[in-house]
Amino acid sequence: MMSEAVPAGRERVLSGIQPTHDSFHLGNYLGAIRQWVELQKTHDAFYCVVDLHALTVEPEPKALRARTLASVAQLIALGLDPEKCTLFIQSHVPAHNQLAWVLECLTGFGEAGRMTQFKDKSQKSGADRTVVGLFTYPILQAADILLYQANKVPVGEDQRQHIELTRDLGQRFNSKFGPTFTIPEGYIIKAAAKINDLQDPTAKMSKSSASQSGVIELMDAPEINTKKIKSAVTDTEREIRFDEKNKAGVSNLLTIYSALTKKSIADSEADFAGKGYGDLKTTVAEVVVDYLKPVRAKALELLQDPAHLNSILKLGAEKADAVATKTLKDAYDAIGIIPRN
């Protein structure tokens, strides 16, 4: 790691989330946001709503506007405290795009083409309907991270390859042009790194799933989430046991239960000893709904006052911009770009 680039004092963390839907889902929370909330207590934390990344799904302008603010409201409702962390919108800090271009010029075409998320998504829609932004998406993500000299990046398992690319690009830059970037590590909590779809428990819970019936949305009414959990796919056995390979549905429900109650998987299994799948689903539904009720209420309350949210974002953008502009300047200097006088 390049010691010159490590900021003095607390370690830095940075992460981002896309405002592509009206609501985040339980996978986003357990896989990432919950760690964001913990890390803001001990780290110099930067968290952004990555609206530029969301452009890759070509959203309606009205929806993008509403979802960006709804994302900020949910993040605060879930426990981010703007006094403890820097919460901002990616597009408010132009250095993200500027560094992304520099990194694009250091990334191999084949290297970018090997990103599995890009391969999956582009294979689904075909080359002519895949936008170039989807191809360069991980490079913009690398810029998000490297600009803040982040030591850790709290994300779910699906982002591991993008963090690897970020490390490769940071190292490549440093070795070509001199120490400029801190090389970050992924911060991936194994126990909740992958929450699966309730209807297709071998696939991750995802905002882009064809059907939303297996996705627990934080902003949905309690009845809707209860219904979804009660209809979760299980198996033809009767035993409540954690076995991801043979009992993906039951294991996913146990993972959710264990993550929200903070009990170990073994203790969670013990809670259901001798009980049936109906009991498991009812209890998991109660735990999820009780957990989400105050979050949803708080987010809705925050959305009543957009001026307040905007003032938080203004401050966040100023703090983020100061750090990002400095790193961009160092990177430009290192590669030989003449500063404007």
Of 162, 195, 170, 158, nearest to 30 by C-alpha is 195
Question: Binding to ligand TYM by residue 141, rule CB under 6 A?
Answer: yes
User: DSSP characters for 185-205?
Assistant: EEE--GGGS-PBPSSSTTSB-
Q: Shortest approach of ligand TYM to residue 179 CB, angstroms? A: 21
Name which of 189 and 315 has its Cβ closer to ligand TYM: 189
Q: Which positions from 2 to 21 touch ligand TYM by CB under 6 A, shown as an x/- string?
A: ------------xxxxx---
Q: Which span sits near ligand TYM by CB under 6 A: 104-112, 150-158, 236-244, 251-259?
A: 150-158
Question: Binding to ligand TYM by residue 39, rule CB under 6 A?
Answer: no
Burial of residue 290 (number of CB atoms within 10 Å: 0-12, 13-18, 19+): exposed
Instruction: List all residues 6 or more positions away from 139 whose beta carbon is below 8 Å from its beta carbon.
Output: 100, 103, 104, 107, 112, 165, 169
230 is catalytic: no
Among 45, 50, 85, 89, binds ligand TYM (CB under 6 A): 50
Q: Shortest approach of ligand TYM to residue 181 CB, angstroms? A: 14
Binding to ligand TYM, residues 151-190 (CB under 6 A): 153, 155-156, 158-159, 162
Catalytic residue, from 84, 204, 263, 319: name it: 204
* Residue nearest ligand TYM (C-beta atom): 31
CA 264 – CA 262 distance, rounded (Å): 7
Catalytic residue, from 62, 152, 190, 207: name it: 207
Query: What sections of the chain are H helices per DSSP?
Result: 26-28, 34-39, 51-54, 61-77, 95-104, 109-113, 116-125, 132-146, 160-177, 222-230, 248-261, 265-271, 277-303, 306-335
121 is catalytic: yes
Among 12, 13, 23, 32, binds ligand TYM (CB under 6 A): 32
Binding to ligand TYM, residues 189-208 (CB under 6 A): 193-195, 204-206
Instruction: List all residues 6 or more positions away from 212 whose beta carbon is below 8 Å from its beta carbon.
Output: none
CA 162 – CA 21 distance, rounded (Å): 22
Which residues are known to be catalytic?
121, 204, 207
Which residues make up the interface to ligand TYM (CB under 6 A)?
A: 14-18, 27-28, 31-32, 50, 53, 141, 144-145, 153, 155-156, 158-159, 162, 193-195, 204-206
